């Protein structure tokens, strides 16, 4: 049987999903017996996406007009298009910048930081900058592999399953279900920040840390809580959860209200919407209000 063709396309990203792909280590050789890697700017010399590719993994979300062009080209050339990682799936951490005015942000970064002497916002021979978006806002996405970055083993299994023409699935449980400390049996009485060390062997959420375990998709083996750090929700909303941040607010209810009333959305987005702000209901609402005002 002819090997299926695989491409990895990168938009706005830190390249971590590419590294997670390479983290298959020696298993890459096994993968390459089943699929042919035809495009990856990081490890191959092929500058353009070849014309017909069976599986295209898209790493990163949309930030520029150039990202939009590449994404649409990827869709045209792909039989199956997969969002790889939480930036492509939900907007990821850069999505947090949608809470700031784009022009002021560019102005600060390129003109106002303490080391800048001659400042100017770049506009020549560079693409136009737009708000951060997950890729589903621009093209049809056939499958999502969430995570920041996704688990290497999961990437491999999903590619192999797609190459065989099967329909892969994601874990439906939550990070709490995989966590030796969880799930929480009671609600915390006060919220804590991670510079205070937690008690060992006790659920982090019960102790009051913003642990996103109850609303986040399983599959990582609860690596962070096992290392004494609350889950920050990098694998996005668990199955059947529409909005990761809203679901977490709901879980914490009044305690959350008492703590966050002193904070603004820019602060608590770092807890509740770290990876999913650009695909949240609240962002949708803000955007619609802005369009109405215009």
Partner 1 sequence: MRVQIKPVTRIEGHMAITIDVEENRVKNLQINILEPPRLFEKFMENKPAEEAVRLAERICGICYVAHGLASVKAVEDAWDVKPPEAAIKLRKLLHAGGYIHSHTLHLALLALPDMLCPGEGVIGIAEKYPQLFKKAIVIRKYGQEITEIVGGRPIHPSTIVPGGMSKPLPREDRETLMKKGEVVLKNAMELVDTIFDIYEKNKLLSTYPEDLTYYMGLVSHGLHETYDGELHIMSPKGDVIASFKGLDYLKYIAEDSVRYSFVKHPYLRVNGEKYRVGTLARTNVAEKFGTPIADNYLAMLRKMVGKPFHNVGAYNLARAVEIIASIEKALNILEDEEILSKNIRTHVKPKAGIGVGIVEAPRGVLIHHYEIDDKGLLRKVNLIVATQQNIPPLERELIRVASDLLSKGEKLTTIEQRLEMVVRAYDPCISCATHLVKLRIVS
For 209, which DSSP code? B
Task: Give the pairing type, strands 62-64 and 129-133.
Answer: antiparallel
Q: Which residues is 7 bridged to in the sheet?
A: 39, 56
Q: H/E element holding 27?
A: helix 27-34
Choose between 142 and 229: whose C-beta lies nearer to partner 1.
229
Report, in Å, the least distance between residue 22 CB and partner 1: 7
Return the residue matching tokens 């986040």: 216
CA distance linking residue 165 with residue 108, whole number of Å: 48
Which tokens in the block code for residue 106? 């560019």
Choose between 195 and 292: whose C-beta lies nearer to partner 1.
195
CA 27 to chain centre: 24
Report, in Å, the least distance between residue 167 CB and partner 1: 27
Report, in Å, the least distance between residue 18 CB and partner 1: 7
Written as one string, the DSSP assignment of 131-195 is EEE-GGGTS--SEEE-SSSPPHHHHHHHHHHHHTT-------SBHHHH-TT-S-SS--SS-B-TT
Choose between 54 and 232: whose C-beta lies nearer to partner 1.
232
CA distance linking residue 275 with residue 270, whole number of Å: 9
Report, in Å, the least distance between residue 154 CB and partner 1: 13
Choose between 94 and 182: whose C-beta lies nearer to partner 1.
94
Choose between 111 and 157: whose C-beta lies nearer to partner 1.
111
Choose between 45 and 51: whose C-beta lies nearer to partner 1.
45
Report, in Å, the least distance between residue 183 CB and partner 1: 20
Report, in Å, the least distance between residue 168 CB and partner 1: 21
149 close to 17: Cβ distance less than 8 angstroms? yes
């Amino acid at each position: 049987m002819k090997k299926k063709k695989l491409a990895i396309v990168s938009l706005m990203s830190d390249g971590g999903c590419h590294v997670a792909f390479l983290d298959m280590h020696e298993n890459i050789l096994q993968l390459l017996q089943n699929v042919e890697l035809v495009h990856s700017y990081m490890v191959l010399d092929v500058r353009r996406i070849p014309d017909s590719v069976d599986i295209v993994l898209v790493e990163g979300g949309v930030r520029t007009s150039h990202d939009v062009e590449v994404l649409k080209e990827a869709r045209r050339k792909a039989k199956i298009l997969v969002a790889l990682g939480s930036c492509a799936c939900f907007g990821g951490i850069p999505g947090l910048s949608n809470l700031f005015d784009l022009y002021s942000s560019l102005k600060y970064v390129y003109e106002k930081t303490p080391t800048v002497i001659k400042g100017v916002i770049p506009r020549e021979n560079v693409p136009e900058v737009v708000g951060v978006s997950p890729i589903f806002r621009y093209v049809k996405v056939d499958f999502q592999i969430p995570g920041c970055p996704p688990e290497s083993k999961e990437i491999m299994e999903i590619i192999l399953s797609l190459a065989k023409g099967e329909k892969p699935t994601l874990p439906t449980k939550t990070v709490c279900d995989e966590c030796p400390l969880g799930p929480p049996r009671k609600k915390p009485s006060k919220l804590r920040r991670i510079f205070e060390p937690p008690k060992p062997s006790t659920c982090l959420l019960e102790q009051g840390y913003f642990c996103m375990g109850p609303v986040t998709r399983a599959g990582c083996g609860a690596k962070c809580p096992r290392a004494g750090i609350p889950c920050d929700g990098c694998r996005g909303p668990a199955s059947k959860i529409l909005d990761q941040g809203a679901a977490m607010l709901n879980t914490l209810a009044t305690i959350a209200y008492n703590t966050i009333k002193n904070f603004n959305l820019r602060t608590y987005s770092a807890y509740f919407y770290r990876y999913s702000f650009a695909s949240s209901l609240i962002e949708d609402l803000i955007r619609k209000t802005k369009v109405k005002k215009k």
